[in-house]
Amino acid sequence: MIKSDRLDFIQTRLDELYPKTPVPLDHRSHFQLLIAVLLSAQCTDVRVNKVTPSLFAVADNAEKMQKVSEKVIYDIIRPCGLAPKKSKAIVELSKILVTKYDGFVPKQLSQLEELPGVGHKTASVVVSQGFGIPAFPVDTHIHRLAQRWGLTKGKNVIETENDLKKAFPQKSWNKLHLQIIFYGRDFCTARGCDGRKCEICTTCYPKRKKPFVANKP
């Protein structure tokens, strides 16, 4: 199967499996989404969704959050991992949002990436899922699947992101990145599929005989 046929099949099949793509992280504002995405680093969305109600009960916006001590935040978000760094980042970015952006979350990638604890992937998720601006956040699931499906040979998530942006229409990015994540969790897991088991892998590469080893991000 040539690449263009793989692209068509992948997009069609993902649309069939996931016609709707709800945002996995519970939130009621751009600020809450930003905090939830920050907490999701090296943590599951399920666990984040269990933690954020307690955190947002204490402070649900930047104005309130900047006044909360790191210790209080740490104690709440500890189950998410990396709590010392995340609690410090939450307080610091809240102060910046208040002083520089009147408490609002900016929608520009460059401005988001300047905030403490916010990298390119986190910023991309916020603009995509929060503001509806086309972006293609690449996490470990997408990085793994894109390689298994022959869409990239990227050695890191930035290279993979660039390849996927070239491969798919911009209007599909926001929905597609979630569809790939969902499929990776449901069918093409790191251990459950080695590039020869799930439907998309076997359709794209029916003659693949050896386990596919993806470049780690």
Residues with a catalytic annotation lie at 121, 139
Q: How many beta carbons lie within 10 A of that of residue 202, not counting itself?
A: 14
Domains in the chain and their CATH numbers? 30-131 (1.10.340.30), 136-204 (1.10.1670.10)
Quick one: CA dihedral 124, 126, 127, 129, positive or negative?
A: positive
Is residue 178 a contact partner of residue 21, using CB atoms and an 8 Å limit?
A: yes
Angle between helix 157-167 and helix 140-148 axes, rounded to 10 deg = 60
Structure tokens at 7: 């692209």
Eight-class DSSP state of 74: H
Q: Look up tokens 């070239």; give the residue.
A: 166
Alpha carbon separation from 44 to 25, 66, 76, 143, 170 (Å, rounded): 10, 25, 16, 17, 27
Q: How many residues does the chain have?
A: 217
Q: How far apart are CA 107 and CA 174, in angstroms?
A: 15
Which pTM does this prediction carry?
0.94
Q: pLDDT per position in the chain (217 positions), as tens?
A: 899 999 999 999 999 999 999 999 999 999 999 999 999 999 999 999 999 999 999 999 999 999 999 999 999 999 999 999 999 999 999 999 999 999 999 999 999 999 999 999 999 999 999 999 999 999 888 999 999 999 999 999 999 999 999 999 999 999 999 999 999 999 999 999 999 999 999 999 999 999 999 888 7
